């Protein structure tokens, strides 16, 4: 299990990201590190996600690198084609920490409500490059 292994390795946080997602830190990673360090007792540090808009050249071909070619993003969740619920860092030091699906963490002593802290978008967001070409979309949903 990842959480005990992370504790043994001395890590402070875990994050589940897929192969079509990256974390973007507008103010740089020191700002993210400071934010995470200042919220060690919160098990669910939640980032918004933004959805990449593929350039027209990506429509038919599969050789386009979406991380290099996408430069515009949807930022209004009602306009997204995929998920709208963001991703969370889990604070490994919180007793009882457990994943709550791929988007959140839960835990804490006493079984009460999870403590969720929103990560300001200026600190970090998840950029989601969902199926940035038709062949990739076909492969993903043909299974």
- A 10 A CB-CB count for 62 gives 12
Q: In this predicted structure, what is the pLDDT of residue 3?
A: 93
Quote the CA–CA distance of 93 and 76 in Å, as a whole number. 33
Q: Name which residue leads in pLDDT, 80 or 31.
A: 31
pLDDT for residue 36 is more than 90: yes
Phi first, then psi: give them for residue 92, nearest 5 degrees: -60, -30
Q: Name which residue leads in pLDDT, 62 or 14.
A: 14
Q: Name which residue leads in pLDDT, 46 or 107.
A: 46
Split at pLDDT 50, 70, 90, the class of 87 is: very high
């Amino acid at each position: 299990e990842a959480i005990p292994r992370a504790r043994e390795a001395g890590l402070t946080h875990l994050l589940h990201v897929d192969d079509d997602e990256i974390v973007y830190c507008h103010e740089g990673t020191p700002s993210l590190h400071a934010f995470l360090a200042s919220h060690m007792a919160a098990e669910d540090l939640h980032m918004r996600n933004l959805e990449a808009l593929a350039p027209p050249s990506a429509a038919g071909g599969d050789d386009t690198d979406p991380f290099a070619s996408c430069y515009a993003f949807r930022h209004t969740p009602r306009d997204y084609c995929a998920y709208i619920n963001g991703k969370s860092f889990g604070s490994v030091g919180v007793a009882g920490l457990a994943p709550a699906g791929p988007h959140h963490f839960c835990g804490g002593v006493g079984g009460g409500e999870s403590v969720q802290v929103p990560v300001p978008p200026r600190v970090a967001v998840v950029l989601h490059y969902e199926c940035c070409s038709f062949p990739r979309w076909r492969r993903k949903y043909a299974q």
